[in-house]
């Protein structure tokens, strides 16, 4: 009788446990089935070459390559800048020289070779003796032309930057001087120790000298 009661009690416990498990399973199933989504089901967007709906991060490798390129550019920049500055200075000087060469003021009469051998002051004005010839006011003296000081300075500056380019410009200056030819200066005033000459535009040139008791 005792054994029979134990078996009955054991089966009772087992049946009760099974019932609990079954009830829990049914409750879980009912709970899962009761969860509903208020939104309508939608298919995921198709990706056919359009913008990706997912965030795209920059690749570290591309960033490293970009940084290396920037460093290379920084290293090469000073040398390129120096070359560019040199070329710009040479181009600026060349343009300024050629612009001045278009003007007649780029060339001035050279009176360094004019030697006044004698001076004569009379009632009708003064006269000077040049090249064994007496010349009075109104007469002319032929003198060569040379580059103005500004042109000479610019060519010298260009030579310090680009000697080859300066040589080319010097040839252009010589050709321009040859085309201009000598200048005819008119005697406008004569004094005991000076003579004043002027070109066809009225620009004066004064030659000073010391009388030696002619």
Q: Which residue has the higher pLDDT, 21 or 180?
A: 180
Cβ-based neighbour number of residue 169 at 10 Å: 21
| Count of helix runs (H) and strand runs (E) in the chain | 4, 9
Characterize the bridge pairing of strands 183-190 and 194-198. Answer: antiparallel
Q: Are 157 and 164 in contact (CB under 8 A)?
A: no
Q: Pull the structure tokens for residue 126.
A: 């003064």
Single pTM value for the model: 0.51
168-179 average pLDDT score: 88
What confidence tens digit (pLDDT) does each residue in 113-159 have?
Answer: 899 999 998 887 899 999 999 999 999 999 998 888 888 899 999 99
Quote the pLDDT of residue 167.
92
């Amino acid at each position: 009788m005792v054994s029979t009661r134990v078996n009955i009690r054991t089966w009772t416990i087992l049946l009760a446990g099974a019932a609990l498990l079954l009830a829990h399973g049914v409750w879980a199933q009912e709970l899962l089935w009761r969860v509903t989504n208020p939104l309508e089901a939608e298919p995921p967007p198709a990706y056919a070459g359009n913008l990706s709906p997912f965030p795209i991060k920059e690749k570290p490798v591309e960033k490293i390559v970009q940084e290396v390129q920037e460093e290379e550019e920084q290293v090469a920049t000073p040398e390129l800048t120096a070359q560019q500055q040199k070329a710009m200075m040479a181009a600026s000087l060349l343009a300024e020289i050629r612009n001045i060469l278009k003007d007649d003021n780029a060339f001035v009469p050279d009176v360094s070779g004019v030697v006044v051998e004698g001076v004569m002051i009379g009632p009708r004005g003064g006269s000077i003796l040049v090249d064994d010839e007496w010349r009075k006011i109104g007469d002319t003296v032929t003198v060569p032309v040379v580059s103005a000081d500004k042109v000479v300075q610019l060519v010298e500056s260009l030579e310090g930057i680009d000697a080859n380019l300066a040589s080319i410009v010097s040839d252009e200056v010589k050709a321009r001087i040859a085309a201009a030819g000598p200048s005819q200066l008119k005697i406008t005033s004569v004094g005991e120790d000076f003579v004043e000459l002027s070109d066809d535009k009225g620009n004066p040139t004064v030659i000073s000298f010391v009388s030696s008791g002619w």
